[in-house]
């Protein structure tokens, strides 16, 4: 049996696992981040100085600072630290600074057809 779900990579609680609540809470945290995804902007490379709890960014190709090595991922400020998730082709997000719905093509974020202002 795999350790995670195939689509969202949510962790499974394993048989005889100690501290099952940790795995369950991790899955809930990921769901809260991914479902109804909203990002501040796409292509961002520099972490904000004072992020608010729950804010997320779709990272660009060469992120720096606390985001170094996380190119192309979604970075969300959760519980006083950064949580990184790799988006999958077809994921959609509301992009606040563009005021539009965008879809992840597998390599970049693009305006969803028919959602132009």
Structure tokens at 20: 């099952």
Structure tokens at 116: 């132009």
pTM of the model: 0.84
CA 105 to mean position of chain CA atoms: 15
| pLDDT of amino acid 115 | 57
In this structure, the chain runs to a length of 117
Examine the pLDDT at 25 and tell me if it is beyond 90.
no
Report the distance separating Cα 11 and Cα 13, nearest Å.
7
Report the distance separating Cα 25 and Cα 105, nearest Å.
29
| pLDDT of amino acid 101 | 96
The dihedral through the CA atoms of 50, 84, 45, 37 has a sign that is negative
Report the distance separating Cα 58 and Cα 44, nearest Å.
6
């Amino acid at each position: 049996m795999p350790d995670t779900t195939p689509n969202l990579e949510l962790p499974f609680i394993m048989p005889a696992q100690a501290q099952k609540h940790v795995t369950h809470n991790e899955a809930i945290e990921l769901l809260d981040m991914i479902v109804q995804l909203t990002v501040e902007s796409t292509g961002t490379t520099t972490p904000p100085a004072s992020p608010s709890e729950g804010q997320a960014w779709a990272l660009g190709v060469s992120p720096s600072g606390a985001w170094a090595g996380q190119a192309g991922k979604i970075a969300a400020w959760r519980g006083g630290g950064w949580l990184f998730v790799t988006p999958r082709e077809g994921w959609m997000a509301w992009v606040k600074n563009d005021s539009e719905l965008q879809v992840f093509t597998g390599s970049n974020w693009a305006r969803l057809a028919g959602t132009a202002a």
